[in-house]
Amino acid sequence: MTTLLISDLHLEEERPEITRAFLLFLQERARKAEALYILGDLFESWIGDDAMSRFHHSIAKALRELAEHGTHIFLMHGNRDFLIGKRFCDEAGCRLLVDASVVELGGERVLLTHGDRLCTGDEAYMRLRRWLRNPLSLWILHHLPLTTRRRLARRLRKESRVHTLRKPVEITDVTPEEVPPLMARHGVQIMVHGHTHRPAVHEFQLNGRQARRIVLGDWDSQAWVLQVDRQGFRLEPVAI
């Protein structure tokens, strides 16, 4: 049995090469897998299921075809597309996972998360995250007019790019001290996440045993896929 995990594709019409690579991945490699996990930021932005464009419907259609072929698809919110809801998931044939979730992969209990919750050194972002994920804020966002949501999304994306360029690298990365308590709380020795765009396998000791934090890469100049099968966990770059 093979399971594939990806994240941070940031799909948008302005980057057709990434979309082509993703559709090819769904049609070929993903069809041979038992399950596909997408750990956030499938799209560059998402202002609500009621704002789906022809582009979004085409991605949902491709995912639905994969699901009907027999691959189980699991989707997690990212910091860019946390407004994805039931309508899109139903159309795409995928199941929405809570961040964070524990699943069994390769005979191991594995904690899956998008990863932004671990970047506590970026205090400004964490404040914004708490506000955006508050149930009242989510209700307000869902009920704003589409034009207002589009304007707000453009503003947030612009500010995010500017602030990211100005921040030290260590601020936008995971705070290492946040990892062991979260893993211990969920009773796991393996964590998989994305968000930071820094693909790597970090090994350390947790409760006297070997532990791993596997970081998925973003899809840009190349794609990144974590494959889990009988041979273990393999994080691999894929040409685009």
What's the rounded Cα separation, in Å, for the pair 183 and 191? 7
Residue 234 in marked binding region: no
Distances (CA, A) of 233 to 3, 35, 97, 211: 10, 14, 21, 13
Is 173 annotated as belonging to a binding site?
Answer: no
> From the CB of residue 215, how many other CB atoms can be counted at a distance below 10 Å?
23
71 belongs to an annotated ligand binding site: no
To the question of whether residue 122 is assigned a binding role by annotation, the answer is: yes
* Pairwise CA distance, residues 221 & 18, whole Å: 9
69-120 pLDDT tens trace? 999 999 999 999 999 999 999 999 999 999 999 999 999 999 999 999 999 9
Strand order across the beta sheet in which 35-39 lies: 95-97, 72-76, 35-39, 3-6, 222-229, 232-239
Residue 43 is given by DSSP the state B
Assigned fold of 3-239: Purple Acid Phosphatase; chain A, domain 2 (3.60.21)
207 assigned binding-site residue: no
In the chain, where are the structural domains located? 3-239
Residue 170, pLDDT score: 65
Residue 81: predicted pLDDT: 95
Q: Is 137 known as a binding-site position?
A: no
pLDDT tens for the chain, 240 residues: list them: 899 999 999 999 999 999 999 999 999 999 999 999 999 999 999 999 999 999 999 999 999 999 999 999 999 999 999 999 999 999 999 999 999 999 999 999 999 999 999 999 988 889 989 998 899 999 998 889 999 998 888 887 777 766 666 667 666 799 999 999 999 999 999 999 999 999 999 999 999 999 999 999 999 999 999 999 999 999 999 998
